[in-house]
Amino acid sequence: MSTNTELATIFQEMADILALQGANSFRVSAHARVARELADLSTDVRTLVERGEDLTTYEGIGDKSAKKISEYLETGHITEHETLKAAVPAGLLAILAVPGLGPKTVRLMWEQAGVTDVASLRAQMDAGVIEQLPRMGAKTVENIRTALAFLETSADRVRLGAALPVAESMLTTLRAVPGVIEAAFAGSLRRGCETIGDIDLLVATTDPDAAGEAFRTMDGVVQVLAAGATKSAVRLGSGLQVDLRVVEEASYGAALLYFTGSKQHNVRLRERAVKRGLRLNEYGLFPDDGTHDEAPQRRGIAPVAARTEEEIYAAVDLPWIPPELREDRGEFTAALPDLITCDDIRAELHAHTTASDGRLSIEALVAEAKRRGYHTIAVTDHSRSSVLANGLDVERLRAHVDAIRAVDAKTKGIRVLAGAEVDILVDGDLDYDDETLAMLDLVVASPHVSLKQDRAKATARILAAVRHPLVHIIGHPTGRFVGRREGLDLDLDVIIAAAVEHDTALEINANNVRLDLRDTHVRAAVEAGALIAINTDAHGAEHFDELRYGVLTGRRGWLTADRCVNAWPARRLHDWIAAKRP
C-alpha cells in the first residue's frame, strides 16, 4: 500500500470512530475530507514533505492534520489514531459498513446490546435483543440480516465497464414508458469513475407512477429496496443496486446536477449559491427568502434556474462544468479545458492479432480500424518473454513485420504500422535488442510481470523504458487491474518528468479492467505537459468499444485532444513516430 493510501485509510478510520463516539459531525467530515484529499494525491505525500511543501495549502488539510501526517511519516503511526482505536471494539467498524446502519445505530447496539462485531450482532439479533432497542423493530432487524447476507456474497464496487452497459439497457426500457420525456444515468457513472457503488438513473416524466412501476418490475430486479413517490431503489441479480429518481421536466437540470454529484462538488455549488443569496436543491436554484422551515418548491416559489444544468451554473457565475470534472479538484477556479471526446480519436496504436494472443487476423484488425474511421492502426503483438501470450521471437517478428507491411501496401485509406508491445523486463531492459526495435515503426513498451517490486526498483525500471530512444509509448504503465491488483508502485512525478523530456507518451489503457494510467495520474501528466496515448489494447473487434472508458478516464484527468497522440492528424502523428527512428 502506498503512503497516501495508508494515511487515507487512517484518517477515514479516525472519522468513523469519531462518528461512533458522537463527535461533532463537522469534525467527522473534516477527517473524511483529509482522507479523500490524501487518496487523490498523485504525488507521494512523503515526497511532498521532503520537498518542503506546506500540506496546509491543500484544501481541507489544516494545521492539525498536517501535524498528524508529519507524525506518521516520522514514526509510522498517529497517536490520536491509536487512542481512538483503543476506545472502540475493532469489529464495530465493519458493522458501520453495513448499508442502513450508521454511527448512531451502531453505537446504540454497542452500548445497550453489547454488540462488538458482526458475530455478536448476529447473536443479539437471534436472541431478540436488537429488536427491543429504541427505534428498532422486526423490519429493521430483517433489513440488517439481508444487508449482512448481501455484504458476504458480493464485491463492494463494480467496474465502470460492467455498469455502463447495464445502465444504458435500463434507460432504453425507461424511455419507452409512456410519459417519459428524458432519461439519463447520473452519479459516479456519469462522472466516468473507474468503479461505481450503484447506478443512479433519472427520469423526467408526466407519469411518475408508471416510470416507478416499470423500473421496479424490470428484468433482472430481484429485490425492491425503496418505493416512494419520487424515489425507488432496487437490487439486480448481479448484486448491483440501482436508484431511480423521478422528476418533472421543469426541474430536470437541477435533478441531473444534484444526482450527478460528486457530493463535494454539490456542496461547493450550494455554498456558492448561498453567497449569492440563493438556495440550490434538486428542484432548482431558488431565491433565499430566509424561510428554511419548508423547502422553497413546496411554497410555490419560482426558481431562478432549474430546467438545465447550464442555466444553473450560469446563475452562480460558472460555465457548464463537464461531469468528469465535478470532483472539487479545482474545477471552480481553473480555466476549464476543452476535453477530449471519443470523436477526436483517429488512431489505435496498441492492438493484437492472431500472431500472439489476439483473435483477429491483420486484415480483420485493419478492416475494423478503418470501419471506425481511423487514419492509422498499429499492429503491436507481444514480445518473446510473454510466453503465455504467444509472444514473438525475433524470427517470427520479422515474418510478422513483412506480413503487416504487405497489408499496408495493399490497403487504401488507412496507414498500417508494424509495431510491437515489448515487455519491459524486471531490470528495465527491453525484450528485443535495439536493432530489432529499430526495424519496427512503433514500439509500445509495457510491464507485464514482477509488478510487486519496491518503489525504487519499479520506478527505475519504467524510467529506463521512458528514456529509451526507440520507445514511443509506455503501455499500461503500472500494470494494475481495477480492484484486483495494485500494480507497480511508481514515483509518477519522476516518470512524468522523464516522459516530457524524452517525448514519450504515457498510455491510458482503455480496457475497463485496466484503466491505467488512472485519472489522477493523467491529471498530473497533463499538468506537467506530457503526451498521452489512449489505446484499447484490442484483442478482438469488440474491444474497440472500450475506447470510451479510456476517454472518460482522460477527461477525468483534464486531457485535451492536443495532448493525446491518438487524436492528432495523420501527418503530425506520423512525424512524431518517425522522429524516434534512426
N-to-C CA span, the chain: 41
Which residue's CB is nearer to DNA, number 237 or number 277? 277
Which residue's CB is nearer to DNA, number 75 or number 333? 333
Which residue's CB is nearer to DNA, number 43 or number 56? 56
Which residue's CB is nearer to DNA, number 102 or number 569? 102
Which residue's CB is nearer to DNA, number 105 or number 504? 105
Which residue's CB is nearer to DNA, number 133 or number 445? 133
Which residue's CB is nearer to DNA, number 136 or number 164? 136
Which residue's CB is nearer to DNA, number 198 or number 431? 198
Which residue's CB is nearer to DNA, number 177 or number 295? 295
Cell triple for residue 318? 460558472
Cell triple for residue 478? 503500472
CA 82 to chain centre: 31
Minimum distance, C-beta of residue 64 to DNA, in the bound complex (Å): 3
Element (H, E) at 194: none
Minimum distance, C-beta of residue 323 to DNA, in the bound complex (Å): 14
**Rounded-to-5 percentages of helix, strand, coil across the chain:** 50, 15, 35
The rounded distance, in Å, linking the Cα atoms of 370 and 520 is: 32
**Of the candidates 488, 565, 487, 580, the residue with the CA atom closest to the CA atom of residue 525:** 565
Torsions phi, psi for 549 (to 5 deg): -70, -35
Amino acid identity, residue 297?
A: Q
Minimum distance, C-beta of residue 18 to DNA, in the bound complex (Å): 8
Q: Strand 505-509's sheet: what is its strand order?
A: 347-348, 376-382, 415-423, 442-446, 473-474, 505-509, 532-535
Minimum distance, C-beta of residue 535 to DNA, in the bound complex (Å): 33
Minimum distance, C-beta of residue 227 to DNA, in the bound complex (Å): 5
Cell triple for residue 47? 515526497
Cβ neighbours around 367 below 10 Å, total: 17
Q: Strand 199-205's sheet: what is its strand order?
A: 180-185, 199-205, 241-247, 231-236, 221-227
Minimum distance, C-beta of residue 282 to DNA, in the bound complex (Å): 6
Footprint of DNA (CB under 7 A): 24, 26-27, 30-31, 33-34, 56, 59-66, 80, 98-106, 134-141, 143, 187, 197-198, 200, 226-231, 241, 243, 259, 261, 263, 266-267, 270-271, 273-275, 279-283, 292, 295-296
Alpha helices in 41-137 (DSSP H): 45-50, 63-75, 79-87, 92-96, 103-113, 118-126
Minimum distance, C-beta of residue 380 to DNA, in the bound complex (Å): 40
Minimum distance, C-beta of residue 231 to DNA, in the bound complex (Å): 3
Q: What is the dihedral of CA 507, 511, 514, 520, to 10 degrees?
A: 50
**Of the candidates 519, 488, 553, the residue with the CA atom closest to the CA atom of residue 42:** 519
CA 222 to chain centre: 27
Minimum distance, C-beta of residue 465 to DNA, in the bound complex (Å): 38
CA 240 to chain centre: 17
Which residue's CB is nearer to DNA, number 10 or number 532? 10
Which residue's CB is nearer to DNA, number 91 or number 540? 91
Minimum distance, C-beta of residue 268 to DNA, in the bound complex (Å): 8
Report which DSSP code applies to 546.
Answer: G
**527512428: which residue's cell?**
581
Question: CB–CB of 291/299 below 8 Å?
Answer: yes
Minimum distance, C-beta of residue 133 to DNA, in the bound complex (Å): 9
